[in-house]
Amino acid sequence: MTFLCSLMTMRQLTPWCFKSVVLALLVLQLACQKQVSPPTRAPTFNQDHAYSLLKDLCNLGPRNHGSETKLKAEKWIQDKLRDAGAEVSVHEFNYTGKNWAGPESFRNIVGRFRTAVQRRVLIGTHYDTRSWADRDPRRELRSTPIVGANDGASGVAVMLEMARAWKERPPPVGVDLFFFDGEDFGKEGEFQDYLVGSKVWVKDHPEYKAEWGVVLDMVGDSSLRVLKEKSSAARACRAVRRIWDAAERVGSSAFVDEFSGSLYDDQSAFIARGIPVALIIDFDYPWFHTMEDLPDKCSAESLGQVGRAVMEAIDADAPASK
């Protein structure tokens, strides 16, 4: 019909044919517009409470390896998980770093929800902070431990707030929350000593299975802009698509449909094991590994954008879990 009408001049169009052309154009316009589905469930993530968790954790002090404040943080995280109803376990292990005299003790913390459910999703972050502010512009501070508000505390805050929400409204699938130690243990250039907690956990638990997962790292930047990390997009593309689609449904505009470079992070060990885990990170952060990585560089809104997107991605698993 449209083809036939196009053979006529505008002067030759009958009223019926003219209306058909207009209707066809409207249909085409609607078809070209991207349709955004509503959220699976109304988001329950409290971004202001998440930000208060970030500040509370930072108020304990730096969580660098071997410090008393890291021990306090470990207890604090476990207490919050138990308050939320999670089953909590600690994976303690030894690791000897390059140029270290002997083995050092580390602790990964795991909080599990709906432990009897076979279908599982993992969410991970690191809670430790760097022992050296080796990128600080002030040379006299480069041997000082950092607080790590964005680089460490932001992921912890998002995950603990999700846990708190799940106490009242459990997730539709089993969820395992991993708080990794030793992510920032390595010195500049000694890459084998980074990501210690996730690498050893995967090695020590060869039986562990999850359908998909996500790692949160540096997700509190007040000017948050999250790109699709290249290795995740290549080897965990379905997990990436789940999260970006969920972000669109809940209006998390910080998730951008562009690609970043490949980053070696806590998702890498799981991807190597065959578990598709996506990395959510905004690596464009001026205060990375400096003494200025403090809560005032982060925002509740950024934590909320990430928390709502991840919770929506997990909620969308509900139909398949029945």
Residue 178: left (phi > 0), alpha (psi -120 to 50), or beta?
beta
Residue 175 lies in a domain: yes
Neighbours of 232 (CB within 10 A): 28
Nearest 5°: the CA angle 195, 210, 74 is 45
User: What local confidence, expressed as pLDDT, does residue 23 receive?
Assistant: 53
Task: Identify the pLDDT of residue 198.
Answer: 97
The C-alpha atoms of residue 319 and residue 74 are separated, in whole angstroms, by 35
Does residue 4 belong to any structural domain of this protein? no
Domain count, the chain: 1
CATH of the domain at 296: 3.40.630.10
Confidence (pLDDT) at 97: 82
Contact 134, 186 (CB under 8 A): no
- Neighbour count for residue 19 (Cβ, 10 Å): 11
Q: Please give the backbone phi and psi of residue 260, each rounded to the nearest 5 degrees, phi first.
A: -100, -175
Asked if residue 169 belongs to a domain, the reply is yes
The answer as to whether 23 is a domain residue is no
Tokens for 168, please give them. Answer: 């009242």
Residue 2 forms part of a structural domain: no
* Look-up of token digits 């997107």: 309
Whole-angstrom distance, CA of residue 41 vs CA of residue 308:
10
User: In which domain, by residue range, is 282 found?
Assistant: 47-321
Query: Are 112 and 175 in contact, with CB atoms under 8 Å apart?
Result: yes
Residue 20 falls inside a structural domain: no
Distance CA 122, CA 105 (A): 24
Q: What is the mean pLDDT of each run of 10 residues along the chain (322 residues)?
A: 35 48 43 59 90 98 96 98 98 89 92 97 98 96 98 98 96 97 87 92 97 98 97 95 97 96 95 97 97 98 98 82 40
Residue 36 within a domain: no
Contact indicator for 182, 197 with CB cutoff of 8 Å: yes
